[in-house]
Structure 1
Amino acid sequence: MQRRSFVQRAGLAGVLATGAAPAVVHAQSNLRWRLASSFPKSLDTIFGTAELFAKKVGEMSGGRFQISVHAAGELVPAFGVVDAVQNATVDIAHTAPYYFYGKDPTFCLGCAVPFGLNSRQMSAWMYDGNGLKLMREFYAKYNIVNFPGGNTGAQMGGWFRKEIKSIADIKGLKFRCNPFAGRVLEPFGVVPQSLPGGDIYPALEKGTIDAAEWVGPYDDLKLGFNKVAPNYYYPGWWEGGPQLDFFINNKAWEALTPDYKSMIEAAAAQSHIEMQARYDARNPPALKQLVGSGTKLKPFPADVMTAAFKSAEQIYADLSAKNPSWKKVWEDYAKFRAEQNVWFRFTEATFDRFMQSQKL
């Protein structure tokens, strides 16, 4: 028995040493995926998050799993990525789910809704609450498996050609904003405009639109909005913590080996963390630069905030009455939001208010 065991061990060692066991050592086959982003290459924060994700998958797989990243318009339009993943035109996309409000408002709960969760609360709901489970059940209707893929943190309210002193001043305003914010503002006379990031500047410059929101100082400075609209409002109450997602075709996902699935999960998690880290680090100096160059920084008037909040809550009630998919996810989301706000009121908010009042 001892001699046979020794021979068996020696034989296996010899095989491994000569590299003659590819089925054992290299069980995974080479694989190439195409990723369609909803964002332009000029945005190293958002587009760069997809590049980071692809890089990490390539590194973890020893180069056997390669993902090519394509900017909006290269393979499919910015707002065409859900159809592309659903139909297996591409294997994976990186996008903001609320772009697809027109398909079903439930998409927005996987990203951001007006007066919703902040970025930390959103991650908590996704990873330790029921968020990921509920959204995956919903996305399954579109042949999609999703992974959180970044967050910008609370956004700015956008760039306006004219000053907004009250709710009356937004009547007739052609405002590029996310679809859900547009619906909330429509009762007050706003005319919502849906434009991908790369199309916003020329529309604002030509006067095709009167105002536009994107993300925050770092990206907005890169896109040059301060050159064509002087008034910069805050906060972006429609996206207090917008989460981006990696949308993967369900058949492409199921075809992966367990090791490749783990690599996707790990790379997405790292990308999710690093995207917000980039924004948190880069927004403060960018805001200082914008203000130094003449940007007028202003809060939304209280009556705008109050009216928008009431409008949003009414829309949520209406959707719950007629959209079963929305109702199922919203009830869990809203309960989580209420609990989180009680907790943050005593801790994060109090600490933040004190620190921001200090001269550091």
Structure 2
Amino acid sequence: MTTRRTFLTRGALAGAATLAAPAVVRAQDVIKWRMQTYAGAALGEHVVKPAVDMFNELAKGKMEIELFYSDQLVPTGELFRAMQAGTIDCVQSDDDSMASPTEVTVFGGYFPLALRYSLDVPALFYKYGLDQIWKDEYAKVGVKHISAGSWDPCNFSTKKPINSLADLNGLRVFTFPTAGRFLTQFGVVPVTLPWEDVEVALQTGELDGLAWSGITEVYTVGWANVTDYFLTNEISGAWIGHFFANMDRWNALPPEMQALMETCFQQSHYYRQHWYWAGEASLRVNETKLKLTTIPSEEWKAVEDAAVKFWDEIAAESEVKAKVVSIIKTYNETMTKAGVPYRY
């Protein structure tokens, strides 16, 4: 039994020990993440670095994201596996380029003719339900889908002019996996290369052109210096890209860091919308390195019709793909019925 004397003695000794103990203030360890983007350094300055800089500043030393550009840590095609394994904490990419093992991968990047404008992307994700589908599919493979946003449209930039569909035949083109799969029916030969090797490949003749971006990227990254023509017909009106994170690393973050990251990445999506939207028009009008060409609309309709057939082929592959295609069709039908300015 504890007597009054032992209680007082022990209590006094414990209190004295507490008072005598030196006050040690241990600074909380900074949370450090490594993030890799699909973009090279010149493009990354616009499409991701401002968001990372903003996050690091607002995190006030509690967390820091170290940014790496295309292929710096791992090749782009290995980004998903590296993130899933925890080698990289966070990734900015489309699903298609990083070979995600999900049912929605085929829709990442440029799904042929599914989008007309950049606003179509957030509308589809946050008003038509694609966001939840992506979150569910990535959760199955241990990855957090943070958010989706739009980038630029997809056009051909080539060393020879394209004025008809026949001019596409035999063109060796750097493009995305799904876009390449679609374009082969028109004679295009898709070529896979590291992003940083594209400029040299255009100079050496290994590539005849690219179908990777709109005109803003072609000028920004220097491809306008090694190509001569830009086709105004679009394979897609916007690129679908995302921010992802390793699920365990994401779950380990304090809620305020999760919220801050989501906010900064949404700001990144907003920045790209006006940067690309203004850039595409301005460069077509005010720059002269690339000569603009156009395939007549009556001929280009064959590509548009082929795209709808391609959607049906993809829809037949799984229930999830069929659900996404159905949403894309419903959305486009609504936009078409709404008329100008939604669809012309």
TM-score by length of 1: 0.80
Give the superposition deviation at 1:227.
3.3
Q: Which has the higher helix share?
A: 1
Aligned partner of 2:318 among 317, 323, 328: 323
| Structure 2 residue aligned with 1:71 | 69
Give the superposition deviation at 1:35.
0.3
Q: Which runs of no fewer than 5 residues in structure 2 stay unpaired?
A: 1-22
SS of the equivalent of 1:146 reads strand
Give the superposition deviation at 1:64.
0.7
Q: Which runs of no fewer than 5 residues in structure 1 stay unpaired?
A: 1-19, 351-360
Change (3 A) 1:144 1:303: farther
What percent of counterpart residues are identical?
24
Q: Is this contact kept in 2: 1:149–1:271, CA < 8 A?
A: no
1:179-234 CA-partner distances (Å, limit 9, x unpaired): 22211221222211223432221111111111213323332123333333322101
| Structure 1 residue aligned with 2:9 | none
SS of the equivalent of 1:116 reads coil
| Structure 2 residue aligned with 1:83 | 81
**Structure with larger Rg:** 2
Give the superposition deviation at 1:87.
1.4
Q: What pairs up with 1:54-133 in 2 under 5 angstroms?
A: 54-100=52-98, 103=101, 106-117=104-115, 118-133=117-132
Change (3 A) 1:182 1:34: same
| Structure 2 residue aligned with 1:356 | none
Look up the equivalent residue of 1:33 and give its one-letter code: W
Q: What pairs up with 1:34-45 in 2 under 5 angstroms?
A: 34-43=34-43
1:136-192 CA-partner distances (Å, limit 9, x unpaired): 11222332212335422434x222222323322222221222222211221222211
Give the superposition deviation at 1:33.
0.5
1:107-147 CA-partner distances (Å, limit 9, x unpaired): 24244311112321210121232011011112223322123
State the Cα RMSD in Å: 2.7
For these two proteins, the number of residue pairs brought into alignment is 321
| Structure 1 residue aligned with 2:330 | 335
Look up the equivalent residue of 1:268 and give its one-letter code: F
CA distance in 2: counterparts of 1:128 and 1:301, whole angstroms: 34
SS of the equivalent of 1:175 reads strand
Change (3 A) 1:47 1:245: farther
1:51 equivalenced with 2:45 (yes/no): no
Give the superposition deviation at 1:243.
2.5
CA distance in 1: counterparts of 2:167 and 2:70, whole angstroms: 34
Give the superposition deviation at 1:303.
5.5
Q: Is this contact kept in 2: 1:110–1:135, CA < 8 A?
A: no
Change (3 A) 1:299 1:83: same
TM-score by length of 2: 0.83
Q: Is this contact kept in 2: 1:164–1:301, CA < 8 A?
A: no
